[in-house]
Chain A
Amino acid sequence: MSQPEILNQAFELAYTYTRSTGPVIGRFLTELKKRNIVGIKASDGRVIVPPMEYDPDTAQELSEFVEVGQEGEIVSFAWVKEPREAHPSDKPFAWALIRLDGADVPMVHCVAAGSEEQVSTGARVKAVWAEETIGFITDIRCFELV
């Protein structure tokens, strides 16, 4: 018995959005453009990077920005052996949780390294800035081992 012809039509769901980032995330992105990294002080004194608008424990509005270091320590990582198109690097790299100096919580970013063996928990890394900064997380192109 012959297979029935299956009807197909492309369907691309596409729509444009704008995003108002507000005074906290907006400030974080603006500082990235200026090649600074800022966090925010929570009610318990922790410095959170990227900053949050509202305290996770007390729900109070947060406003005390703190500039943190551009170097930090790898808390945890996952090695990407075969990067795909959407990845930030075409060479193997690590996704890592990085605790920047002066921050109390780690932030996710990518770490450029020659091989998996070079990357370890506790390794020191520093931010590498993009040639042109636009106020987006990719203004930090990656972190590299110190």
Chain B
Amino acid sequence: MANLAAVVGIGQTKYTTKRGDVSIAGLVREAAVNALADAELTWNDIDAVILGKAPDMFEGVVMPEIYLTDALGCNGKPMLRVHTAGSVGGSTAIVAASHVQSGTFRRVLTVAFEKQSESNAMWALSSPQPFSTHLNAGAGGYFAPIIREYMRRSGAPYDVGIKVAVKDRLHGARNPLAHLQKPDITMKEVEESFMLWDPIRFLESCPSSDGACAMVIANEELAGQSPKKPAWIRGAAMRSEPTMYAGREEVSPQAGRDCAADVYQQAGITDPRRDLDVAEIYVPFSWYEPMWLENLGFAPEGEGWKLTMEGATSLDENGDIPWNPSGGVLSSNPIGASGMIRFAEAARQVRGDAEQHQVEGAKLAMGHAYGGGAQFFAMWVVGAEKS
């Protein structure tokens, strides 16, 4: 990696079903203003804005980055848009960081958002196409058979997904920004919730949220002057692969494994479960926790579910490697922002700024995002120290 860079400001909105009180501009503005306030900076301190969101079909505004320059104090400055489906929040943060690491800019603002209430993201990408059978499956319908295959291969008990659904909602109940607030959720409640796409139940799925997340990323010199503790970016990587090709390993995609190996190598991590203190991993459907535990090397193949069932990933059970203490995607999902929230929440942990969902003494944290048909991956590792 080139020059050091660090997160010096983080801003989020309260995630909720519908923010009818603000325009799209007003929503991104709120997160950006919060990030600037956290960094104790003003618009004039920012050299460029790097914006990300999921497909334009979700709100029906084509290239919204163009009209958002006023709201983001970006008139007369460079504005870049990043687009990698559901992983976009993560890749946007990495693109922003790389502009600082390369020395191109000294300090950038990066923002990701989705205002899902302006449409219905579940079906926006499932419109019938000519000469194709219309599956009308949505995202859950796409991932359900892959989860089935994971269950078959690993022999995991049927309630692993239920456990994840409960665990992440209990985490979310500690985070006032989380969309779903379910402090009394039980295994029984999840099990009895409506089966949407077998084996994915309603409560094993992410909600549909409005929200935005923003970060200020600065170079080493400016981060050194930052009033609050910086989160140093110790590694960042992206990988992608086609949605479908013969022999594709869909349960544990090669791109995910390669991306993890790259980011661990940069951060000097040899055993992620031991070396990391906490991880914010993109889990929109409950079973993706055990699947990603294996894909990312936290557990041997076929054994990810054991960590979940032992409580290793749970704050409430004093697990050794808490996953998604913020409540994760299962508690809040403004799609385009969800990846950036993972990255920002990892940074909050190493800044010691995560309040009720803080992992005590966290020094090294991972943020992760995936998108498309689990084909785009973005990951970073942030630390309380520079190296």
Contacts and interface: CB of A to CB of B under 8 A. Distances in A.
Contacts of A15: 57, 60, 119, 124, 127
Interface in B181-218: none
Interface stretch (A18-26, A69-77, A103-111, A112-120): A18-26
Contact of B119 (A9, A18, A61): A18
Nearest to A19: B118
B70 A13 contact: no
Given A11-B129, A17-B118, A53 B21 contact: no
Contacts of A146: none
B73 interface: yes
Interface residues of B, number: 29
Contacts of B362: none
Contacts of A10: 130
Contacts of B21: 20, 22-23
Contacts of A61: 29
B119 A22 contact: no
A7 B132 CA distance: 13
A11 B130 CA distance: 6
Nearest to B132: A9
A59 interface: yes
B176 to A, nearest CB: 23
A54 interface: yes
Q: Which of A9, A10, A14 has the most CB of B within 10 A?
A: A9
Given A53-B23, A54-B25, A54-B71, A16 B119 contact: yes
A20 B25 contact: no
Given A18-B119, A20-B21, A57 B75 contact: yes
A23 B26 contact: yes
Given A17-B59, A53-B26, 15 more contacts: A16-B119, A18-B119, A20-B21, A20-B118, A22-B25, A22-B26, A24-B23, A25-B23, A52-B70, A53-B23, A53-B70, A54-B25, A54-B70, A56-B70, A59-B74
30 contacts: A9-B131, A15-B119, A17-B118, A17-B119, A18-B118, A18-B119, A20-B19, A20-B20, A20-B21, A20-B23, A20-B115, A20-B117, A20-B118, A21-B23, A23-B21, A25-B23, A26-B23, A52-B70, A53-B25, A53-B70, A53-B71, A54-B29, A55-B70, A56-B75, A58-B43, A59-B70, A59-B71, A59-B72, A59-B74, A59-B75
